[in-house]
Amino acid sequence: MGRAHAMAFATAARAFDLPVTPALELIADRTEASAAEAAEILGFRRSTANWRTIMADPSIDLVAIAAPNRLHAPIAEAALAAGKPVYCEKPLATTLAEAEAMTAAAGASGLPTAVGYTYLYNPMIALARDLIQSGEIGEVTAFRGIHAEDFMASPDAPFGWRCEPDQAGGALADIGSHIIAMALHLVGEVSEVSGTLQTAHPVRRDAAGAERRVTVDDQMDALVRFAGGATGALAASWIATGRKNQLAFEVTGTRGSIHFTQERFNELKLCRAGGGFTTILAGPEHGAYGAFCPAPGHQLGYNDLKTIEVRAVLQAVLGLPNAALDFAKALRVERVADAIRRSHRERAWIAL
């Protein structure tokens, strides 16, 4: 993710007409050697093994956090305290309390913030939102979404930091946050949830071969009710064999439906009442697509979405109109995720 951030900052001012050109000034990593290597590869001017050095440096105008989840809160709060805007990868934090503290710190500082829910910046998602908000599919009655991958599907996949609750939070926090963010972005506030979590592989071996108990979830399923009256279902799994990035949803309305999957993210399928689904191919008429290619059907890639996201981050820092998802908006995702965990523990519907 650090590489994705660096590439996006290096590309943003070339792809878009921005009043500034970002300079990759200082990168932190766990050791002096790894930080120096990363700086050379990614094009940073300087490196350090201590992220606190960044906060004390007056030449730094923006801190981008691409560290493991448990470090999001301390780095973000230190940056805000030092008067620096923050661009943080998702999820915002490992606990709701940390996310609330980060959001409170951001509010008190008055500084711009942004969170890396990259998939929301896809021009096809912008089109889907426009179609929904314009009433093209009528009144929304249901949202069904899933984020499924298979990088932990094998029981032999090693125990790592994602398996530790205080470092990551499981499939719900890691990839489930994406489908929650998508539901909120497209349909609006969630009012109530009923969720269940499952740990399919309760024991994994670490790098040394020792057995470690896994206490985070491998997959999540939840029923939701939206404040606007629609109902829905959300699912997340990192043990979905064969799925590489199935961030997919269907929004059903009284006059039509929309279908999307990130595995074909340059396409959006639209159905109007009385007809079947038609495929809309991404092209230069769809928002930021034209900044990368003047012809339809040639397709954007993941790093292009990250560049679109960084444009929004830079616009936020400069005080320009922007589409950045700030800490307050990202906190909504954490509240839904926390309600799903509570629902699993209490075996009950939880109101937000």
pLDDT band at 166; cut points 50, 70, 90: confident
Q: What is the pLDDT of residue 298?
A: 96
Going from the N-terminus, what domains does the chain have, and what CATH number goes with each? 2-118 (3.40.50.720), 121-298+327-351 (3.30.360.10)
Q: Return d(Cα 291, Cα 311) in angstroms, integer.
A: 11
**Residue type for 344, please?**
H
pLDDT over 90 (residue 307): yes
The mean predicted confidence, pLDDT, of the chain is: 96
Give Cα separations from 100 to 72, 86, 193, 211 (angstroms): 12, 15, 20, 34
* DSSP code of residue 174: I
Q: What is the pLDDT of residue 274?
A: 86
Q: What is the pLDDT of residue 169?
A: 75
Q: What is the pLDDT of residue 245?
A: 96
Q: What is the pLDDT of residue 163?
A: 87
pLDDT in tens, 167-189: 777 999 999 999 999 999 999 99
Q: What is the pLDDT of residue 160?
A: 87
pLDDT in tens, 148-162: 999 999 999 999 888
Q: Return d(Cα 198, Cα 56) in angstroms, integer.
A: 43
Residue by residue, DSSP assigns 292-342 as T-SSTTS---HHHHHHHHHHHHHHHHTT-------HHHHHHHHHHHHHHHH
Q: Rounded to the nearest 10 degrees, what angle do helices 177-187 and 327-346 cross at?
A: 110
Rounded average pLDDT over 267-277: 95
pLDDT in tens, 319-344: 999 999 999 999 999 999 999 999 99
pLDDT in tens, 46-99: 999 999 999 999 999 999 999 989 999 999 999 999 999 999 999 999 899 999
- Match 């396409």 to its residue by tokens: 267
Q: Quick one: CA dihedral 90, 96, 102, 103, positive or negative? A: positive
Q: What is the pLDDT of residue 62?
A: 98
pLDDT over 90 (residue 165): no
pTM, two decimal places: 0.96
Q: What is the pLDDT of residue 60?
A: 97
